[in-house]
A and B are shown apart, each in its own frame.
Chain A
Amino acid sequence: MATPAISLTNVTKLYKRYGGRQFATLKSALLSGDLVKKLRPEETFQALKNVSFDVAKGQTMGVIGRNGSGKSTALKLIAGITKPTSGVVAVKGRISALIELGAGFHPEISGRENVFINGIMLGMTKREIQQRFDEIVEFAELTEFIDAPVKTYSSGMYMRLGFAVAIHVDPDVLLVDEVLAVGDEGFTHKCLDKFGEFKRRNKTILLVTHSLGLVERFCDEAVWLDHGDKRGQGDPTRVVGAYMTDVERQEEQLLAAGDAKAKVDAGESTVSAKPTGPVDAGEIAADMSRATEGRWGSGGVEITQVTLQNDHGETTHIFHTGEPVTVKLNVRASKPVKDFVFGVAIFNAEGVCVYGTNTDIEDHQSDTLDGAAEISLVIDALDLVEGTYKLDVAAHKLDGAPYDYHRLLYTFRMKSRVKDVGIYRPKHSWKFDGGVKFRLKT
């Protein structure tokens, strides 16, 4: 490994929690030059906990993690804007930090003057700015408006100008904090090209982003921070994979908790408490279009549990497009019944019924149901696009009168690496013939 351009060694950063003893802060700042050491542990917040990593010169490092994981804190420490509470941050070479674009712009004066002042703030000399001025303006696509006051700029123009100045500082180390979302597609590509150029010129880049695809495509290495801890470092694909698995695990917990809550809410009005007797089928149909969660029915047959299982038979709430899914209903009939149908329907987040079926439609004539039983709908490949979906499950009579109807009580999430759109993803592939050629996207 070459000499590190950025090196963090056992870096811890404490922040003071807001409120509380202000005098303690001032006193300790004056006496020891330290803001938080004298504070009690419950008055501080650990944004980074003993984090170490190096970025070799010429490498592009991606920093990923959830909101509040310490990514931006790490960036600010590297940029030198804040100091670590303990540990050492060392950076070799000139730094340019794209943390907030156009942070130093003054709204009342022209873009031209702001370029100069911002450039000087970022460490350029007046001559350097003069040399690069046309390039900067051209990059920002603002040739026409450069003499207008910055307050008249659209937010996109503002960001583009900020980005253009920062990127033309010609740093050895470039720190980027989630700023690629500023422009339109074309500008984003231009920024990426610029980063590519930096890479070719053997500059070091540290990229904080939520765009995992970008990290995989663009970075040589990735670091994963979670609640101030370093959870992983290394090959981007591996780290991103580990991070995504962890995110899914957390989502799973969240969805499971949501399910449990929905069931409890619905369970308050227990099945038997509902009015019995025949229910008008038309009324049920009208109900279907109203996407209110709930549970109702006469209770002759009770759905006691609904689980979603993946191909390993594990209960989960997260599936990947094309994975097999089994919807398992545990049901119980208190008295033997002869007239019953089980149905399952999948709704997307907009409330559109993606698919619905029941045992009767698919030629399973009911015969007998007595005591406990298990009904499974086995889907070989659930080809849905990414998103959150909800389930209706029901046990009802042939005429539609419900025994137990669970309306949108179960949630699951589909994940997909492909950002296709719509509600259904038919199995497909692309074929090409003749004078057309594609390259693999990098």
Chain B
Amino acid sequence: MWHNLATLLRYRGLIQSLVARELKARYRGSVLGFFWSFVNPLLLLSIYSFVFAVIMPPADPKAETNPFAVFMFCGLLPWTWFASSILEGSNALISGGNLIKKVLFPAEILPIVTVLANMVHFLLGLLILAGFMVARQHYPDWNELWWFPVIIVVQLVFTLALALIFSALTVLFRDLKDLLANLLTFWFFATPIIYSYKLDQVAHFRRYFNFNPFFHLAVSYQEVLFFPGAFGHKWWLMALGGGSIVLFVAGYWLFDRLRDSFAEAV
């Protein structure tokens, strides 16, 4: 297993080219091309802004979550990265089945590429977020901003771990893909993204929220990017980081164990 992890490093060139290919191929032939990477989150953001600022304006205009669009986007962007990675990643081995069956190369590259390609979309989406922050004159706390890359790394490890696990299991249980789509919807609403974790109702169920790994990621992003003041959630984030590493190792072990079945089962 450790040996396989080491050979993975040798394949970083391939991972790099595959991520580039994934991004290029996705918008090849469309008129706006790569610009869609910006347009997609921009449209999403406009819709949510309209719904939550015009149709359902917050009762208290002085609420902490103002400007609401910026607040929501701080959680929504990472969530989109996470959710699409898991969903596409679970299907990565099956859609890349031709490769696994005909070419000798480490299969884990496929889910990893999916996660990384979605990460690039996430990073591009950050530019939109930055634009909105400037437009709404709402800036993050500069002293705390160095935590931001740390949160990204934690989310990357966590997402990779889940992508490996689900991609391997989906090969043997195709039902997982549909199960996941539903699970992710539930998970989205169980995470304070379109509502604030500072609400009393959330605080009331805080014990349960703590079990949700993405709760800690979302809260971390919001604390660092949106809410003023110190980053109080950092210990939870560190714990999640540690847990993610363990989960990644476990996920990789699982993947490694099932590896030989891929060429036959996809």
Contact = CB atoms under 8 A, between A and B. Distances in A.
Chain A partners chain B:
yes
Interface of A: 15-16, 22, 25-26, 29-30, 33-35, 76, 79-83, 95, 97, 99-100, 103-104, 106, 108-109, 113, 116-117, 120-122, 125-126, 149
**Chief secondary structure at chain B's binding surface:** helix
6 contacts: A26-B258, A30-B258, A81-B101, A103-B99, A121-B105, A122-B103
Nearest to B22: A106
Contact of A15 (B18, B98, B105, B264): B264
Given A30-B254, A82-B260, A125-B13, A108 B25 contact: yes
B18 A82 contact: no
Contacts of A116: 17
B264 to A, nearest CB: 6
Interface string B12-36: 0110011001001100110000000
A80 B254 CA distance: 20
B199 interface: no
Interface of B: 13-14, 17-18, 21, 24-25, 28-29, 98-105, 172-173, 254, 257-258, 260-261, 263-265
A30 B263 contact: no
A122 B99 CA distance: 11
A204 to B, nearest CB: 16
A103 B261 contact: no
A76 B261 contact: no
A106 B21 contact: yes
Contact of A100 (B25, B102, B172): B102
Contacts of B14: 117, 120-121
Given A30-B257, A82-B264, A104 B103 contact: yes
Contact of A117 (B18, B98, B260): B18
Contact of A81 (B28, B104, B265): B104
Given A25-B172, A108-B28, A35 B13 contact: no
Nearest to A166: B103
A99 B13 contact: no
Given A22-B172, A81-B102, 14 more contacts: A25-B261, A25-B265, A29-B258, A30-B254, A35-B260, A81-B101, A82-B260, A82-B263, A83-B260, A103-B103, A106-B25, A108-B24, A117-B17, A125-B13
B43 to A, nearest CB: 23
- Report, nearest first, the 10 A-B pairs whose CB atoms are least far apart: A103-B102, A108-B25, A100-B102, A108-B28, A120-B14, A99-B102, A82-B263, A83-B260, A117-B17, A80-B104
Given A33-B257, A35-B264, A81-B263, A108 B29 contact: yes
A109 B25 contact: yes
A116 B172 CA distance: 32
A29 B28 contact: no
Contacts of A34: 260
A82 B107 CA distance: 12
Nearest to A82: B263
Contacts of B172: 22, 25-26, 29
